Amino acid sequence: MSQDWDIIIIGAGTAGLPAAIFAAERSDKVLVLDAAPEIGGTLHLSSGQMSGAGTRLQKEKGYDDSPAQHIEDIMRISKNTADREIAGLAVDNAAETLDWLESINFRPLPEHPVKGQAHEPYSVNRYVWGEAMGKSILAVLKTPFEKLVESGKVTLKLNTRVSELVQNDQGTVTGVVAQSESGSTETHTAGAILIAAGGYVANGAMYKEMSGHPAYGDHSYPYCIGDGLNLGLDAGGTAWGHENYLTSFGCVMQNYDVPSKVRWRQIHWPERRTPWEIYVNVHGKTLYPRR
């Protein structure tokens, strides 16, 4: 059976953009679909913090690091709750990915790499991000991606929401059904389908179902509505790992609405201010007693 495309990529954000760039090296029949009116996804809101062990930048600045050290840090920081195999896939390819981003003009801050801010520090200076945070990544991905669209090697359809994966009698995914910008239904077939979208935090009902509590904070990308996750589940996939989801912590909200915008965030790093709070669990017992 003839196919419309060699590969269809669902999502034009953090994962979908580089996937399309590399797919276009192997094919000139790449289709990218996104429900949003612009490319970038959560890169528009993300802090853009990235870590990789053994990067060119680390070597230039004299930091000795390896994927083995990186994965051990992940297991330590996650209290051994991370999936070592899945985390290892990211860790083993992280340095090459960061080096590639630098090769297309991504520029970390001058003092980078650092040990990190969003969690317990790494054992080695490994974190980098750009001046414009997630938008720094988007800026360097946008140029090669748009050139591929202009050349015709990549076809981009925005405002297009994928509603269904097409499967044959054996259960193999062979295409997608999507709602186009005009409201019409389109079916596209391909030799490979990549779901590069899965966020669901803007879908209140789904967030509560998956996480067990409401989405109190309203600071998510509006197109993170769970379509990618639902597509995978409907095709026979399995979702797991919700118990490791790390929510925002210690925010003061604007009002009592659910969800609500964030008014203030606290500084949670004792080395940056004098500690004054005591953390307790649901039983009223201190989590980190000080002597």
Residue 6: the pLDDT is 96
Record the pTM: 0.89
- Domain map (residue ranges) of the chain: 5-42+139-197, 50-129
Residue 276: the pLDDT is 66
Share of the chain above pLDDT 70, in %: 92
Q: Which of 229, 259, 231 is nearest to 247 (CA)?
A: 259
Residue 266: the pLDDT is 72
Task: Name the CATH topology of 5-42+139-197.
Answer: FAD/NAD(P)-binding domain (3.50.50)
Q: Is pLDDT above 80 for 118?
A: no
Q: Is pLDDT above 60 for 2?
A: no
Confidence of residue 277 (pLDDT cuts 50, 70, 90): low
Q: What are phi and psi of 263, to 5 degrees?
A: -90, -50
Q: Is pLDDT above 60 for 26?
A: yes
Residue 190: the pLDDT is 96
Angle in degrees, CA 18, 23, 28, rounded to 5: 130
Mean pLDDT of the chain: 90
Q: Model confidence over 210-250: pLDDT tens digits? A: 888 888 888 789 999 999 999 999 999 998 887 777 666 67
H or E segment to which residue 263 belongs: strand 262-265
Contact 21, 14 (CB under 8 A): no
Residue 116: the pLDDT is 87
The mean-pLDDT minimum among 148-157, 206-215, 274-283 falls in: 274-283
- Distance of alpha carbon 266 from alpha carbon 288, whole angstroms: 18
Where do the DSSP E strands lie in the chain? 5-10, 30-33, 50-51, 127-128, 154-157, 161-167, 173-179, 185-195, 251-253, 262-265
- Distance of alpha carbon 240 from alpha carbon 225, whole angstroms: 18
- Distance of alpha carbon 78 from alpha carbon 120, whole angstroms: 9
